[in-house]
Amino acid sequence: MNLWVNRIALGLMAAVALFLFACLDEENILGFKNQNKRLNVAFIEIPVESSVVLFDSLRTSNYKSDATKRLLVGSYEDPIFGTVQSEAYTQIRPSNTLRSREAGATFDSVKIHLQMDLYTYGTSAVSVESFSIHELTEDMSFRRGNDYYTDTEVAYDPTPLGTGSQVITPSLFKAELDDIASKDTVITADIRLNQRFGLDLFRAWNPENTSFTDFEEFSKRFKGLAIVGTNNTKVVGLSLSDSTRISLYYHTTTDTLVYNFYMSDVASSSRIIADRSTSSLAGLNTPYTNFLPSNPNLRYIQSGVPVVTKIDLSKFLEFADTIDNLLINAAELTISNIEDPGSYDPPRTLYLQMLNSNNRLKKFRATLQDTLDLGFYSNKARTITNGLQGLATSLINTDSVFSVMSDTQQDFGQLTYNNSTKSYRAFISLFLQELAVQEEDPTTGLKKSRYVDFVLYPGNPFAAKSLNRVSFNKNNIKLKVYYTTPTN
For all residues of the chain together, what is the average pLDDT? 89
Decide the pairing of beta strands 268-275 and 256-262: unpaired
Average pLDDT over residues 41-54: 95
Q: How confident is the model at residue 398 (pLDDT cuts 50, 70, 90)?
A: low
Is residue 409 domain-shared with residue 441, that is, in the same domain? yes
Residues 214 and 342 in one domain: no
Contacts of 179 (CB under 8 A, 6+ apart): none
Task: For residues 24 and 135, state if they share a domain.
Answer: no
CA pair distance 155, 134, nearest whole angstrom: 10
Judge whether 62 lies within some domain.
no
Does the residue 403 lie in any domain?
yes
Is residue 235 located within the same domain as residue 335?
A: no
**Is residue 396 domain-shared with residue 292, that is, in the same domain?**
yes
* Within a domain: 458: yes
CB 454 within 8 A of CB 401: no
Find, among 470, 456, 461, the residue nearest to 352 by Cα. 456
Of 274, 296, 325, the last residue of a domain is 274
Could you tell me if 92 and 222 are in contact, meaning their C-beta atoms sit under 8 angstroms apart?
yes
**Could you tell me if 293 and 437 lie in one domain?**
yes
**397, 387 in Cβ contact below 8 A?**
yes
Boundary-marking domain end, from 215, 243, 274: 274
**Alpha-carbon gap, residue 237 to 281, rounded angstroms:** 25
Assigned domain for 83 exists: yes
Burial string for 257-276 (b: 16+ CB within 10 Å, else e) reads eebbbbbbebbbbbbbebeb
| Interatomic CA distance for residues 62 and 363, integer angstroms | 22
pLDDT of 135-187, one tens digit each? Answer: 999 999 998 778 999 999 999 999 999 999 999 999 999 888 776 545 677 89
Please name every residue paired with 130 in a beta bridge, in sequence order, or none if there are none.
165, 230
How far is residue 324's CA from residue 112's CA, in Å, rounded to a whole number? 67
On whether both 257 and 304 belong to a single domain, the answer is no
pLDDT band at 37 (very low <50, low <70, confident <90, very high): low
Q: Which domain holds residue 262?
A: 70-274
Cis peptide before 287 (omega within 30 of 0): no
- Interval 7-35: pLDDT, tens: 334 344 444 433 333 333 334 444 445 56
Secondary element (H or E) of residue 82: strand 82-90
User: Do the Cβ atoms of 453 and 357 come closer than 8 Å?
Assistant: yes
166 and 239 assigned to the same domain: yes
Residues 241 and 377 in one domain: no
Q: Residue 245: inside a domain, yes or no? A: yes
Both 268 and 335 in a single domain? no
Q: Is residue 441 part of a domain?
A: yes
DSSP helix/strand/coil, 199: helix
pLDDT for 448: 95
Residue 143 confidence (pLDDT): 85
Q: Tell me how far apart the alpha carbons of residues 397 and 208 are, in angstroms, rounded to a whole number.
A: 43
Residues 249 and 293 in one domain: no
Q: Where among 251, 274, 297 does a domain terminate?
A: 274
Q: Give the tens place of pLDDT for each residue, 303-333.
A: 999 999 999 999 999 999 999 889 999 999 9
E strands along 91-244, which residues?
93-94, 106-122, 127-135, 162-168, 188-192, 225-230, 234-239
Q: What is the pLDDT of residue 452?
A: 95
Residue 399 and residue 354 share a domain = yes
| DSSP structure class, residue 419 | T
- Tally the residues of the chain: 488
Domain total for the chain? 2
Structural domain includes residue 9? yes
Confirm if 297 and 473 have CB atoms less than 8 A apart: yes
60: in domain: no
